[in-house]
């Protein structure tokens, strides 16, 4: 048996380690020769990827130790969460909306919980397994597509920061999504709601959402100084994507806003105020609008987004061009606004008859 094999067998047997003198006495080999053989053995272990050990000299004793520090699942999660916070800080500096950052945080935290590896150790099979699991939980194609987009954004940044060597998300394809037909109210249904005996807050909410086309989150953040009553302009601050834009209010909406403001005894900056003397929440606005739909006996659930769709559809039908409607709604792409521009044969017939070919 050669000296290297003797040393290795001695260290495997003695888990607490052996001193140079102890190894020399047991093997009857000079200390200088033992040091040379230990260095040679360490080199062999280092170059052999299948051998996950190395020899350490700790407290004058030689012993086998793991080549790599094995991290627990909890350590991996802590490291991933720290990287996540760095990523979210970057998004914040880029001016992404708070709601977007909140959605990114929730999605990636859930991803970290399911895929229990460090980002740098994740393989494409881990991503595919994650997608299968969220699909099995009943997530829709739209939801899965959104989660994949978030992860693509994350791994693109990880790769750019050299945290991961290869972007595993490059090979992941988002599922094809069928664009849902935009649901909107007819002019008759709008008038049906207007005829209801409503509280002032409900009237104001309805007319502001319908005439301006703002999102429910934008209504929550609306302040009095965002409204120019004389020009009927409404400034949306940090809308979707953190962008500002200007939209408009109907005469009805302006009259109701003035009346609502005069009925208030507070000096709060925000427009829509809850019974708890703070900003009306998103869920509260949704609840108010839903009740109006029920009272009007519509054949479907009414949401603030239906009023946004109705605003867009009615503006287009009234002749406002696509680019103008895009600016009112705050769409980053005109293709999104085009979804509202689906014409029916009645519109085609009416306009065709006006043209003399």
Higher pLDDT, 258 or 41: 258
The predicted pLDDT at position 344 comes to 44
Q: Bridge-partner residues for 291, per DSSP?
A: none
Q: What is the mean pLDDT of residues 62-67?
A: 69
Q: Give the mean pLDDT of 102-130.
A: 92
Task: State how far the Cα of 145 lies from the Cα of 150, in Å rounded to an integer.
Answer: 9
**DSSP class per residue in 145-185:** HHHHHHHHHHHHHHHHTTSSSS-GGGG--PPP-PPPPPP--
Q: Is 233 helix (H, G, I), strand (E, B) or coil?
A: strand
39-59 average pLDDT score: 72
Per-chain mean pLDDT for the chain: 84
As a whole number, mean pLDDT of residues 305-331 equals 81
Is a pLDDT exceeding 70 seen at residue 127? yes
- For residue 41, the model assigns a pLDDT of 78
Separation of alpha carbons 229 and 27, rounded Å: 96
Distance (Å, rounded) from C-alpha 238 to C-alpha 69?
45
Q: Hey, what domains does the chain have and what are their CATH numbers?
A: 3-66 (1.10.10.10), 73-171 (1.10.150.130), 187-345 (1.10.443.10)
3-state helix, strand, coil in the chain (%, to 5): 60, 10, 35
pTM exceeds 0.75: no
Higher pLDDT, 285 or 320: 285
- Find the angle CA(238)-CA(239)-CA(244) to the nearest 5 degrees: 60
Q: Could you give the CA distance from residue 240 to residue 238 in angstroms, rounded to a whole number? A: 7
**Tens digits of per-residue pLDDT, 207-219?**
999 999 898 989 9
Task: For residues 32-50, give the mean pLDDT.
Answer: 76
Structure confidence at residue 343 (pLDDT): 45
Own/partner pairs, 169-172, CB within 8 angstroms, 24+ separation: 169/127, 171/124, 172/124, 172/127, 172/128, 172/131, 172/148
pLDDT digit string, tens, across residues 234-256: 998 866 666 788 898 999 999 99
| pLDDT score recorded for residue 182 | 60
Span of 21-30, 107-116, 279-288, 322-331 with lowest mean pLDDT = 322-331
Number of other residues whose CB lies within 10 A of the CB of residue 83:
21
CA distance 343 to 189: 19
Q: What confidence score (pLDDT) does residue 311 get?
A: 87
Chain centroid offset of residue 353 CA: 48
Helix (H) or strand (E) holding 245: strand 245-248
Task: Please report the DSSP string for 1-61 in residue order.
Answer: --HHHHHHHHHHH-TT-B-HHHHHHHHT--HHHHHHHHHHHHHHHHH-TT--EEEEEETTE
What pLDDT is recorded for position 345?
44
Residue 199 pLDDT class (50, 70, 90 cuts) = very high
pLDDT band at residue 185 under the 50/70/90 scheme: confident
Q: What is the pLDDT of residue 8?
A: 76
């Amino acid at each position: 048996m050669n000296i290297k094999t003797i040393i290795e067998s001695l260290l495997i047997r003695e888990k607490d380690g052996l001193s140079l003198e102890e190894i020399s006495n047991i093997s009857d080999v000079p200390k200088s020769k033992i040091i040379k053989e230990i260095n040679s053995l360490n080199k062999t272990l280092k170059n052999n990827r299948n051998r996950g050990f190395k020899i350490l000299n700790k407290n004058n004793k030689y012993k086998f130790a793991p080549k790599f520090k094995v991290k627990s699942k909890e350590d991996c999660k802590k490291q991933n969460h720290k990287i996540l916070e760095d990523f979210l800080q970057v998004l914040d500096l880029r001016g992404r909306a708070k709601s977007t950052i909140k959605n990114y945080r929730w999605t990636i935290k859930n991803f970290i919980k399911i895929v229990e590896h460090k980002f740098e150790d994740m393989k494409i099979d881990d991503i595919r397994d994650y997608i299968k699991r969220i699909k099995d939980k009943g997530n829709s194609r739209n939801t899965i597509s959104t989660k994949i987009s978030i992860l693509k954004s994350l791994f693109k940044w990880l790769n750019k920061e050299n945290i991961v060597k290869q972007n595993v998300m490059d090979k992941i394809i988002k599922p094809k999504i069928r664009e849902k037909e935009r649901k909107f109210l007819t002019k008759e249904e709008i008038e049906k709601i207007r005829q209801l005996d409503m509280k002032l807050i409900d009237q104001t909410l309805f007319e502001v959402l319908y005439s301006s086309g703002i999102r429910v989150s934008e209504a929550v953040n609306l302040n009095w100084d965002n409204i120019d009553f004389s020009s009927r302009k409404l400034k949306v601050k940090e809308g979707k994507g953190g962008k500002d834009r200007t939209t408009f209010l109907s005469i009805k909406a302006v009259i109701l806003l003035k009346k609502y403001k005069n009925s208030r005894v507070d000096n709060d900056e925000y427009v829509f105020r809850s019974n708890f003397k703070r900003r009306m929440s998103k869920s509260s606005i949704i609840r108010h609008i839903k009740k109006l739909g029920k009272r009007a006996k519509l054949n479907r659930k009414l949401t603030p987004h239906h009023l946004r769709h109705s605003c867009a559809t009615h503006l287009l039908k009234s002749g406002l061009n696509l680019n103008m409607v895009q600016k009112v709604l705050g769409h980053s792409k005109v293709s999104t606004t085009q979804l509202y521009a689906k014409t029916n044969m009645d519109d085609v017939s009416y306009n065709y008859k006006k043209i003399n070919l």
